Copies of this chain bind each other. A is one copy, B any other.
Amino acid sequence: MTLGPQTRETLQPAPAWEVARWFNADAPLSPEALKGQVIVLGAFQLLCPGCVSHGVPQLARAAATFDPADVAVVGLHTVFEHHDAQGPATLEAFLHEYRVTFPVGVDAPSKSAAPPRTFTAYGLEGTPSLVLIDRAGRLRARTFGRADDMAFGAAVAGLIAESGVTAGSNAGAETDRIAAATPAGDCKDGSCAL
C-alpha cells in the first residue's frame, strides 16, 4: 500500500501554497515549514455537497486518527465558482458551525477567471480533493472525489513509515485507536461479548 521507493525521484517537490488568509493557524503554513511531517492537504468549497458530507469530515477524522507529530492535516478553501457566495465571512461561519479545528487556508484568487493559484499549481480537478505530501516535502498523491477511509488511512500510514523515524513510542495505543467502542456484556449495540 505504500507508494514505492522507485517513484520518489520522479515526484516533484510540493508546490508552494498561495494563501490569501489563514484560519485556525497562528502563522502561515507551508510545505517547506512542515517538512518532516506527512501532510494531508484537503481541498474543498463550503458549498460543495460532497465536501460538506464527506471531504471535510474525513479530514477531521484524519486529524483525530493520526499523531500530529507525524501528520499535519490542512484544509484549502479553493473557490472556483460562486465566488460571492463563498467569501471569508461565510467560510469563518462555516468553520465555526462545522467545528473545524484544523488549519484552513483560503486559496489565493488568480487574476483572471482561472481557478485559484494553489488549485492550479497542484493540477487539481475539482473538490473535494486530497493531496498527500511526504515527509521530504514531495507531492506523492492527488485524488478527486470521494476517497475511501481505509485506503486513505493506509496511504497516509505508508508515507509515515517511509521516514525511518522511530514511531514506536505510540505502540500499544494502536488497539485503542482502532476500536471506536468496546461494548461489554451480551450482544449490545451490535457486538457480542463473551
Contacts and interface: CB of A to CB of B under 8 A. Distances in A.
Contacts of A177: 1, 148, 151, 155
B194 A126 contact: yes
A160 to B, nearest CB: 6
Interface string A149-187: 111111111101110001111111011011111110001
B175 A143 contact: yes
Interface in A128-163: 128, 130, 140-158, 160-162
A154 B156 contact: yes
B145 A47 contact: no
State the number of copies, please: 4
A52 B67 CA distance: 31
Interface string A83-111: 01110011011101110000000000000
Interface residues of A, number: 90
Given A53-B53, A192-B50, A1 B143 contact: no
Contacts of A124: 194
Nearest to A70: B1
Given A175-B141, A191-B126, A192-B81, A150 B62 contact: yes
A25 interface: no
A92 B85 contact: yes
Interface of A: 1-7, 45, 47-54, 58, 61-62, 65-67, 70, 80-82, 84-86, 89-90, 92-94, 96-98, 115, 119, 124-128, 130, 140-158, 160-162, 166-172, 174-175, 177-183, 187, 189-194
20 contacts: A1-B174, A4-B166, A7-B172, A47-B93, A49-B190, A50-B187, A80-B192, A84-B89, A85-B90, A128-B191, A142-B175, A143-B175, A143-B182, A144-B193, A145-B182, A147-B178, A148-B149, A148-B178, A149-B153, A154-B156
